Chains A and B, each alone.
Chain A
Amino acid sequence: MPNVHEPIDVESLRDQFLNSVFDEYELVLDAQKLADYAKSCGETAQKYIDTSNPDFQAPPTFGSSLQPKVRYPKGFPTFKGLGMDAGKAVSPSKPMRAGEPITVKTHMHDIYTKTGRSGRMVFFVNRMEFSNANGDTLGAADTSIVIREKPQS
Protein backbone atom coordinates (compact mmCIF):
# COMPACT_ATOMS: atom_id res chain seq x y z
CA MET A 1 0.00 0.00 0.00
CA PRO A 2 1.72 3.25 -1.09
CA ASN A 3 2.14 6.00 1.49
CA VAL A 4 1.08 9.23 -0.19
CA HIS A 5 2.71 12.52 0.82
CA GLU A 6 1.34 14.69 -1.99
CA PRO A 7 -2.05 16.40 -1.97
CA ILE A 8 -4.76 13.78 -2.28
CA ASP A 9 -6.02 13.43 -5.84
CA VAL A 10 -9.68 12.98 -4.99
CA GLU A 11 -10.93 12.61 -8.57
CA SER A 12 -8.44 9.85 -9.30
CA LEU A 13 -9.39 8.01 -6.09
CA ARG A 14 -13.07 8.29 -6.94
CA ASP A 15 -12.42 6.85 -10.41
CA GLN A 16 -10.40 3.95 -9.03
CA PHE A 17 -12.23 2.94 -5.88
CA LEU A 18 -15.88 4.02 -5.69
CA ASN A 19 -18.72 1.51 -5.79
CA SER A 20 -16.73 -1.73 -5.99
CA VAL A 21 -17.42 -4.24 -3.21
CA PHE A 22 -14.13 -4.93 -1.44
CA ASP A 23 -15.35 -6.93 1.56
CA GLU A 24 -18.09 -9.52 1.94
CA TYR A 25 -19.00 -11.97 4.66
CA GLU A 26 -21.96 -13.72 6.20
CA LEU A 27 -23.04 -13.74 9.83
CA VAL A 28 -25.85 -15.05 11.99
CA LEU A 29 -27.11 -12.82 14.80
CA ASP A 30 -27.53 -14.10 18.35
CA ALA A 31 -30.90 -13.25 19.92
CA GLN A 32 -29.64 -12.68 23.46
CA LYS A 33 -26.86 -10.37 22.29
CA LEU A 34 -29.36 -8.33 20.28
CA ALA A 35 -31.60 -8.00 23.33
CA ASP A 36 -28.63 -7.02 25.53
CA TYR A 37 -27.60 -4.44 22.94
CA ALA A 38 -31.06 -2.89 22.97
CA LYS A 39 -31.58 -3.03 26.75
CA SER A 40 -28.23 -1.45 27.53
CA CYS A 41 -29.18 1.48 25.28
CA GLY A 42 -32.40 2.00 27.25
CA GLU A 43 -34.65 0.63 24.53
CA THR A 44 -38.17 -0.17 25.76
CA ALA A 45 -39.96 -1.48 22.65
CA GLN A 46 -40.69 -5.18 23.21
CA LYS A 47 -39.75 -6.27 19.71
CA TYR A 48 -36.15 -5.23 20.46
CA ILE A 49 -35.75 -6.44 24.05
CA ASP A 50 -37.94 -9.55 24.38
CA THR A 51 -36.46 -12.51 22.54
CA SER A 52 -39.81 -14.34 22.77
CA ASN A 53 -41.69 -11.53 21.02
CA PRO A 54 -42.95 -12.85 17.64
CA ASP A 55 -41.57 -9.73 15.92
CA PHE A 56 -38.21 -9.84 17.74
CA GLN A 57 -35.48 -8.14 15.68
CA ALA A 58 -32.21 -6.24 15.92
CA PRO A 59 -32.55 -2.67 17.22
CA PRO A 60 -32.61 -0.15 14.36
CA THR A 61 -29.08 1.17 14.84
CA PHE A 62 -27.49 -2.28 15.20
CA GLY A 63 -26.09 -2.18 11.66
CA SER A 64 -23.66 0.52 12.75
CA SER A 65 -21.91 -1.94 15.04
CA LEU A 66 -20.89 -4.24 12.19
CA GLN A 67 -17.49 -3.75 10.65
CA PRO A 68 -15.84 -4.92 7.45
CA LYS A 69 -13.08 -7.50 7.80
CA VAL A 70 -10.96 -5.30 5.54
CA ARG A 71 -11.15 -1.56 6.08
CA TYR A 72 -10.15 -0.30 2.62
CA PRO A 73 -10.05 -1.64 -0.94
CA LYS A 74 -6.93 -3.43 -2.07
CA GLY A 75 -4.37 -0.92 -3.32
CA PHE A 76 -5.95 1.99 -1.48
CA PRO A 77 -3.19 4.41 -0.42
CA THR A 78 -2.46 5.55 3.11
CA PHE A 79 -2.23 9.27 3.70
CA LYS A 80 -0.20 11.73 5.67
CA GLY A 81 -2.64 13.37 8.02
CA LEU A 82 -4.76 12.65 11.03
CA GLY A 83 -7.58 10.20 10.36
CA MET A 84 -10.65 10.51 12.57
CA ASP A 85 -14.09 8.99 12.75
CA ALA A 86 -16.33 11.71 11.33
CA GLY A 87 -19.64 10.01 11.94
CA LYS A 88 -21.95 7.13 11.27
CA ALA A 89 -25.30 6.89 9.55
CA VAL A 90 -27.53 3.84 9.68
CA SER A 91 -30.63 3.31 7.56
CA PRO A 92 -32.59 0.15 8.34
CA SER A 93 -35.18 -0.81 5.76
CA LYS A 94 -36.31 -4.30 6.87
CA PRO A 95 -35.84 -6.20 10.13
CA MET A 96 -32.58 -8.03 10.80
CA ARG A 97 -33.61 -11.27 12.54
CA ALA A 98 -31.67 -13.47 14.92
CA GLY A 99 -30.77 -16.89 13.57
CA GLU A 100 -30.98 -16.06 9.87
CA PRO A 101 -27.89 -15.63 7.69
CA ILE A 102 -27.14 -12.02 6.82
CA THR A 103 -24.72 -11.03 4.10
CA VAL A 104 -22.63 -7.92 4.70
CA LYS A 105 -21.03 -6.21 1.71
CA THR A 106 -18.87 -3.10 1.88
CA HIS A 107 -17.90 -0.62 -0.81
CA MET A 108 -16.43 2.85 -0.82
CA HIS A 109 -19.47 5.01 -1.37
CA ASP A 110 -18.06 8.52 -1.55
CA ILE A 111 -14.89 10.58 -1.37
CA TYR A 112 -15.27 14.34 -1.04
CA THR A 113 -13.53 17.38 0.36
CA LYS A 114 -14.31 20.40 2.48
CA THR A 115 -12.00 23.38 2.47
CA GLY A 116 -11.82 25.96 5.22
CA ARG A 117 -9.43 28.61 6.47
CA SER A 118 -7.28 25.99 8.16
CA GLY A 119 -6.92 23.79 5.12
CA ARG A 120 -8.61 20.95 3.34
CA MET A 121 -10.28 17.92 4.81
CA VAL A 122 -10.90 14.77 2.80
CA PHE A 123 -13.79 12.48 3.73
CA PHE A 124 -13.95 8.79 2.87
CA VAL A 125 -17.33 7.11 3.25
CA ASN A 126 -17.54 3.32 3.45
CA ARG A 127 -21.01 1.87 3.04
CA MET A 128 -21.97 -1.59 4.37
CA GLU A 129 -25.12 -3.11 2.91
CA PHE A 130 -27.02 -5.91 4.59
CA SER A 131 -29.19 -8.52 2.90
CA ASN A 132 -30.89 -11.76 3.87
CA ALA A 133 -30.82 -15.17 2.19
CA ASN A 134 -33.66 -14.12 -0.14
CA GLY A 135 -31.57 -11.21 -1.37
CA ASP A 136 -33.80 -8.66 0.37
CA THR A 137 -31.95 -5.49 1.33
CA LEU A 138 -32.21 -5.00 5.09
CA GLY A 139 -30.43 -1.67 5.34
CA ALA A 140 -27.10 0.08 5.18
CA ALA A 141 -24.59 1.74 7.46
CA ASP A 142 -22.11 4.44 6.46
CA THR A 143 -18.87 5.20 8.26
CA SER A 144 -17.09 8.45 7.46
CA ILE A 145 -13.39 8.90 8.07
CA VAL A 146 -11.90 12.38 7.69
CA ILE A 147 -8.28 13.21 7.03
CA ARG A 148 -7.07 16.72 7.60
CA GLU A 149 -4.32 17.24 5.09
CA LYS A 150 -1.03 18.33 6.57
CA PRO A 151 1.14 20.94 4.85
CA GLN A 152 3.78 19.28 2.68
CA SER A 153 7.28 19.36 4.13
Chain B
Amino acid sequence: MSINHLSEVEFGVELPTFQPDTSLANVKKFAIAAGWNSPRFTDHEAARKEGLPGALIPGIMSQGFLSAMIHNWAPGAEIRLVDTIFRAPCVVDERYHINGVVTDIDEESGEVEIDLTVTNDAQETRVFGTAKVMIAN
Protein backbone atom coordinates (compact mmCIF):
# COMPACT_ATOMS: atom_id res chain seq x y z
CA MET B 1 0.00 0.00 0.00
CA SER B 2 1.29 3.41 -0.98
CA ILE B 3 1.20 6.05 1.76
CA ASN B 4 -0.08 9.50 0.82
CA HIS B 5 -1.15 10.95 4.16
CA LEU B 6 0.21 10.85 7.70
CA SER B 7 -3.05 9.37 8.96
CA GLU B 8 -2.30 6.23 6.92
CA VAL B 9 0.99 5.60 8.75
CA GLU B 10 0.84 3.01 11.52
CA PHE B 11 3.32 2.65 14.34
CA GLY B 12 5.36 -0.54 14.00
CA VAL B 13 4.47 -1.13 10.37
CA GLU B 14 7.16 -2.65 8.18
CA LEU B 15 7.85 -0.84 4.93
CA PRO B 16 7.75 -3.03 1.82
CA THR B 17 11.20 -4.58 1.52
CA PHE B 18 12.96 -4.23 -1.78
CA GLN B 19 15.96 -5.91 -3.35
CA PRO B 20 18.20 -3.36 -5.03
CA ASP B 21 20.12 -3.90 -8.24
CA THR B 22 23.63 -4.69 -6.95
CA SER B 23 25.04 -5.77 -10.31
CA LEU B 24 28.51 -4.59 -11.22
CA ALA B 25 27.07 -2.61 -14.14
CA ASN B 26 24.62 -0.75 -11.91
CA VAL B 27 27.16 -0.06 -9.16
CA LYS B 28 29.55 1.25 -11.80
CA LYS B 29 26.81 3.56 -13.13
CA PHE B 30 26.30 4.83 -9.58
CA ALA B 31 30.03 5.21 -8.91
CA ILE B 32 30.50 7.30 -12.04
CA ALA B 33 27.50 9.48 -11.22
CA ALA B 34 28.74 9.99 -7.66
CA GLY B 35 32.35 10.65 -8.63
CA TRP B 36 33.40 7.56 -6.66
CA ASN B 37 34.68 5.57 -9.64
CA SER B 38 37.31 3.51 -7.84
CA PRO B 39 38.26 -0.11 -8.68
CA ARG B 40 37.32 -1.14 -5.15
CA PHE B 41 33.69 -0.49 -6.17
CA THR B 42 33.78 -1.50 -9.82
CA ASP B 43 36.26 -4.38 -10.21
CA HIS B 44 36.07 -7.60 -8.17
CA GLU B 45 39.63 -8.65 -8.92
CA ALA B 46 41.13 -5.28 -8.04
CA ALA B 47 39.12 -5.21 -4.82
CA ARG B 48 40.32 -8.69 -3.86
CA LYS B 49 43.91 -7.57 -4.40
CA GLU B 50 43.20 -4.94 -1.71
CA GLY B 51 42.13 -7.73 0.66
CA LEU B 52 38.42 -7.10 0.25
CA PRO B 53 35.91 -9.90 -0.33
CA GLY B 54 35.07 -8.42 -3.73
CA ALA B 55 33.98 -5.10 -5.17
CA LEU B 56 32.06 -3.20 -2.52
CA ILE B 57 28.76 -1.36 -2.75
CA PRO B 58 29.61 2.17 -1.57
CA GLY B 59 28.01 3.04 1.75
CA ILE B 60 26.47 6.09 0.12
CA MET B 61 24.72 3.81 -2.37
CA SER B 62 23.21 1.87 0.53
CA GLN B 63 21.91 5.21 1.79
CA GLY B 64 20.38 5.74 -1.64
CA PHE B 65 18.70 2.32 -1.51
CA LEU B 66 17.19 3.20 1.87
CA SER B 67 15.93 6.52 0.56
CA ALA B 68 14.42 4.81 -2.50
CA MET B 69 12.62 2.33 -0.25
CA ILE B 70 11.04 5.20 1.66
CA HIS B 71 9.80 6.84 -1.56
CA ASN B 72 8.51 3.50 -2.87
CA TRP B 73 6.39 3.33 0.29
CA ALA B 74 5.45 7.02 0.60
CA PRO B 75 6.10 8.78 -2.73
CA GLY B 76 5.57 12.27 -1.29
CA ALA B 77 7.69 11.80 1.83
CA GLU B 78 10.29 14.52 2.36
CA ILE B 79 13.42 12.99 3.82
CA ARG B 80 14.95 15.14 6.54
CA LEU B 81 17.61 12.76 7.85
CA VAL B 82 19.23 9.49 6.91
CA ASP B 83 21.75 8.45 9.56
CA THR B 84 23.56 5.20 8.85
CA ILE B 85 26.24 3.02 10.39
CA PHE B 86 28.15 0.72 8.06
CA ARG B 87 28.57 -2.36 10.21
CA ALA B 88 29.94 -4.71 7.55
CA PRO B 89 30.67 -4.52 3.83
CA CYS B 90 28.04 -5.11 1.17
CA VAL B 91 29.52 -6.89 -1.82
CA VAL B 92 28.60 -6.21 -5.44
CA ASP B 93 26.61 -8.96 -7.19
CA GLU B 94 25.31 -10.33 -3.87
CA ARG B 95 21.67 -10.06 -2.86
CA TYR B 96 20.56 -7.63 -0.16
CA HIS B 97 17.25 -6.65 1.37
CA ILE B 98 16.37 -3.05 2.17
CA ASN B 99 14.14 -2.88 5.25
CA GLY B 100 12.37 -0.27 7.35
CA VAL B 101 10.06 -0.14 10.38
CA VAL B 102 8.08 2.87 11.60
CA THR B 103 9.19 3.55 15.17
CA ASP B 104 7.67 6.95 15.90
CA ILE B 105 4.96 9.24 14.55
CA ASP B 106 4.64 12.88 15.56
CA GLU B 107 1.12 13.74 14.52
CA GLU B 108 1.59 17.46 15.19
CA SER B 109 4.68 18.03 13.08
CA GLY B 110 4.12 15.23 10.57
CA GLU B 111 7.52 13.70 11.30
CA VAL B 112 7.84 9.93 11.05
CA GLU B 113 10.87 8.03 12.32
CA ILE B 114 11.92 4.84 10.58
CA ASP B 115 14.48 2.27 11.67
CA LEU B 116 16.50 1.14 8.66
CA THR B 117 18.51 -1.99 7.90
CA VAL B 118 20.28 -3.56 4.97
CA THR B 119 20.44 -7.33 5.43
CA ASN B 120 21.82 -10.20 3.38
CA ASP B 121 20.23 -13.58 2.66
CA ALA B 122 21.64 -14.90 5.95
CA GLN B 123 19.64 -12.18 7.74
CA GLU B 124 22.87 -10.50 8.84
CA THR B 125 22.63 -6.74 9.23
CA ARG B 126 25.26 -4.99 7.11
CA VAL B 127 23.99 -1.41 7.47
CA PHE B 128 21.62 0.05 10.02
CA GLY B 129 20.31 3.47 10.86
CA THR B 130 17.44 5.85 11.23
CA ALA B 131 15.47 8.12 8.92
CA LYS B 132 13.27 11.07 9.75
CA VAL B 133 10.74 11.98 7.10
CA MET B 134 7.91 14.45 6.82
CA ILE B 135 4.57 13.20 5.53
CA ALA B 136 1.75 15.61 4.82
CA ASN B 137 -1.61 15.31 6.53
Indicate whether A61 sits within 8 Å of B67 (C-beta atoms), given known contacts A36-B29, A88-B60, A90-B81.
yes
CB neighbours (8 Å) of A92 from chain B are 79-80
Taking a contact as CB atoms closer than 8 A, the residue among B33, B67, B79, B83 that contacts A36 in the complex is: B33
* Chain B residues, CB < 8 A from A37: 30, 33-34, 64
**In the docked arrangement, what's the CA distance between A87 and B80, Å?**
17
- Bound together, the chains give a CA A37 to CA B61 distance in angstroms of 9
How many A residues have CB within 8 A of the partner chain? 27
Given A33-B33, A65-B34, A87-B129, answer yes or no on A41-B61 (Cβ-Cβ < 8 Å). Answer: yes
Contacts of B68 in A (CB 8 A): 38, 41-44
CB-nearest residue of chain B to A39: B29
In the complex, which residue of chain A has the Cβ closest to the Cβ of B132? A91
**Residue contact B82 to A40, C-beta cutoff 8 Å:** no
Bound-state CA distance A8–B8 (Å) is 50
Are A60 and B67 within 8 A (Cβ)?
A: yes
- Count of A-B residue pairs with CB < 8 Å: 98
**Closest Cβ–Cβ distance, residue A148 to chain B (whole Å):** 15
Q: Digit string of A60-72 for contact with B (CB within 8 Å is 1, else 0)?
A: 1100110000000
B59 within 8 A of A: yes
Chain B positions within 8 Å of A86 at CB level: 85-86
Contact partner of A44 (CB less than 8 A), chosen from B21, B30, B71, B82, is B71
Chain A, range 27-63, C-beta contacts under 8 Å to B: 33-34, 36-45, 48, 59-61
Residue of A nearest to B30 (CB): A40
A40 and B84 alpha carbons, distance in the complex (Å): 19
Give Cα distance in the complex from A140 to B72, angstroms: 24
Q: List B contacts of A34 (CB < 8 A).
A: 33
Judge whether A38 and B64 touch: CB under 8 Å: yes
CB distance from B40 to the nearest CB of A (A): 13
B33 contacts A40, CB within 8 Å? yes
Question: Which residues in B have their C-beta under 8 angstroms from that of A87?
Answer: 83-86, 129
User: In the bound complex, how far is the Cα of B65 from the Cα of A34, in angstroms?
Assistant: 15
Chain A interface residues (CB < 8 Å from chain B):
33-34, 36-45, 48, 59-61, 64-65, 85-93
Cross-chain pairs A/B with CB under 8 angstroms, 26 sampled:
A33-B32, A37-B34, A37-B64, A39-B29, A40-B27, A40-B33, A42-B21, A42-B64, A43-B64, A43-B67, A43-B68, A44-B71, A44-B72, A60-B67, A61-B63, A65-B34, A65-B35, A86-B86, A87-B84, A87-B129, A88-B84, A89-B83, A90-B81, A90-B83, A91-B80, A92-B79
- Enumerate the 10 nearest inter-chain pairs by beta-carbon distance, A residue then B residue, closest first: A41-B64, A89-B83, A40-B30, A36-B33, A60-B79, A42-B68, A87-B85, A37-B33, A61-B63, A65-B34
